[in-house]
Amino acid sequence: MKIHALVKRASVSVALCQRGIQAVACMVMLVGLFVLLMGWHIRLSERVAKINASLVPAAPFTKRPDLLQMPFNATAMPPTWQSAATVKAPLTSAVAPVALRITMVLPHPEQDDEIAFKRYFMQRGIAVDYNTIVFSDDTREHAALIARVRATRPDLIYTWGTASTMAIAGRFDCKDKADHADDADCRAKNKVEKVEKGDAAIRDIPIVFAEVTDPVGAGLLPTLDAPDRNMTGVPHIAPLAMQLALLSAYRPFSHIGFIENPQEPNSANLLTRLRTQAALRGWKVISVSLPKDNVKPHRGMVGDMSGVADMADSGGTGTAVQQAVVSLKAQGAQVLYVGTSTLLAFTYRDALTQAALDADLPTFCSTESILRESKCLYGIYSNGNNVGAYAAFKAQQILIDGIAAGHIPATPLKRFSILINLPVAARLHLYPPMVLLPLAQLVPDMPAGPEGPAVSAVPTVLDDPVDPVDPAVDAE
pLDDT digits (tens, 9 = 90+) for 405-415: 999 999 888 88
146 by DSSP, 3-state: which? helix
Using a pLDDT cut of 70, give the percent of the chain over it: 64
CATH class of 240-381+414-474: alpha beta
Alpha carbon 122 to its chain centroid, in Å, reads 19
CATH class of 74-79+96-234: alpha beta
Q: Label residue 388 exposed, middle or buried (CB < 10 Å: 0-12, 13-18, 19+).
A: buried
pTM of model > 0.95: no
Q: pLDDT grade, residue 452 (50/70/90)?
A: very low
CB-based contacts of 381, cutoff 8 Å, min separation 6: 236, 237, 238, 365, 366, 367, 368, 371, 416, 417, 419
What pLDDT score does 94 carry? 37
Residues 287, 367: contact at Cβ < 8 Å? no
What pLDDT score does 136 carry? 75
Average pLDDT in the 325-335 region? 96
67 by DSSP, 3-state: which? coil
Domains 74-79+96-234 and 240-381+414-474 share a fold: yes
Instruction: Specify the higher pLDDT residue, 174 or 255.
Output: 255
Beta-sheet strands, E only, within 204-244: 207-210, 231-234
Query: Does the structure show a pLDDT above 80 at 356?
Result: yes
Q: What are the residue ranges spanned by the domains of the chain?
A: 74-79+96-234, 240-381+414-474
Average pLDDT in the 95-108 region? 82
Instruction: Specify the higher pLDDT residue, 410 or 162.
Output: 410
Question: Any idea which of 122-136, 159-173, 294-308, 433-447 has the lowest mean pLDDT?
Answer: 294-308
CA distances from 258 to 324, 332, 335, 356, 425 (A): 9, 12, 9, 12, 20
What pLDDT score does 400 carry? 94
Average pLDDT in the 369-389 region? 90
